[in-house]
Amino acid sequence: MNPQDVLKLFKDSQALLTGHFLLTSGRHSDVYYEKFTLLKNPAICTRICEAMAESFRGSGAETVVGPTTGGIIIAYDVARYLGIESIYAEQGDSGRVFKRGFSLEPGQKVVIVDDVLTTGKSVEEVIALVNSYKAHIVGIGLLLDRSGGAVKFPYPVHSLATVSAKSWDAKECPLCAKGEPFTQRGSRKMSVS
Ligand SMILES: [Zn+2]
């Protein structure tokens, strides 16, 4: 699956939305990649995860870790292709935590995966969590890097697709300046990402 295939999936599945969006990062944007439109479809999701898993074949990875919520699904299916286990990192009082008895051993080889990267905060939190166990991060897998590659990590990053999607601080948002209300998506809260 090449980057064009991934972006086509977003387009064809109507997962690429335009409007005025409040992202989880707190930033505002005129585009929103609703990854759950892809992840809710097992046949599509598994193609994505298979492609992501290929990046880590031969890496010696022993565990895949993803942040809630989309990261749970991706980590699980990537781990299935690699024949290893997956765990997920949940929101704690400050940063990410493992619950449900999840843990890592010192030196354990870990792949971190996530869906759509905007500011990289979720991935940074998972990196900090994994490092707190002194586990070894062999790489990071992303479905879509919407920072255009601007967000960097000190590990090999494999993004299935990269786009430069604009986002702004609330103070600098041109859509807010025009008084445009946030786009409501379905009946759900608009701020999910
Ligand atoms: Zn705005």
Report the CATH number that the domain containing residue 23 is assigned in CATH. 3.40.50.2020
* Neighbouring C-beta atoms of residue 182, cutoff 10 Å: 14
d(CA 19, CA 31): 6
d(CA 109, CA 117): 22
CA 181 – ligand 1 centroid, Å: 8
CA 190 – ligand 1 centroid, Å: 12
DSSP labels, 124-150: HHHHHHHHHTT-EEEEEEEEEETBTT-
Task: Provide the CA 161 distance to its chain's centre, in angstroms.
Answer: 12
CA 21 – ligand 1 centroid, Å: 7
Tell me what pLDDT residue 1 has.
87
Q: How many domains does the chain have?
A: 1
CA 55 – ligand 1 centroid, Å: 36
Tell me what pLDDT residue 156 has.
96
CA 101 – ligand 1 centroid, Å: 40
Answer yes or no: is 193 within a domain.
no
pLDDT per residue over 127-172, tens digit each? 999 999 999 999 999 999 999 999 999 999 999 999 999 899 999 9
Amino acid at residue number 118: T
Domain with 152 in it: 3-177
pLDDT per residue over 59-107, tens digit each? 999 999 999 999 999 999 999 999 999 999 999 999 999 999 999 999 9
Q: Please, are residues 133 and 103 in contact by the beta-carbon 8 Å criterion? A: yes
CA 29 – ligand 1 centroid, Å: 7
Handedness of CA 75, 77, 82, 87 (dihedral sign): positive
pLDDT at 193 over 80: no
Q: List the Cα angle 25/26/29 in 5-degree steps.
A: 90
CA 122 – ligand 1 centroid, Å: 21
pLDDT at 19 over 60: yes
Tell me what pLDDT residue 71 has.
96
Q: Please, are residues 86 and 60 in contact by the beta-carbon 8 Å criterion? A: no
DSSP labels, 48-115: HHHHHHHTTTTS---EEEEETTHHHHHHHHHHHHHTSEEEEEEE-SSSEE--TT----TT-EEEEEEE
Answer yes or no: is 105 within a domain.
yes
pLDDT at 186 over 70: no
Answer yes or no: is 136 within a domain.
yes
pLDDT per residue over 105-123, tens digit each? 999 999 999 999 989 999 9
Answer yes or no: is 60 within a domain.
yes
pLDDT per residue over 39-61, tens digit each? 999 999 999 999 999 999 999 99
Give the list of residues 6+ apart from residue 37 with CB closer than 8 angstroms, or none: 10, 13, 14, 15
Answer yes or no: is 184 within a domain.
no
Tell me what pLDDT residue 141 has.
98
Tell me what pLDDT residue 192 has.
45
pLDDT at 190 over 70: no
**pLDDT-derived band at 25, boundaries 50, 70, 90:** confident
Answer yes or no: is 182 within a domain.
no
Answer yes or no: is 111 within a domain.
yes
Q: Which residue has the higher pLDDT, 192 or 41?
A: 41
CA 32 – ligand 1 centroid, Å: 13
Answer yes or no: is 190 within a domain.
no
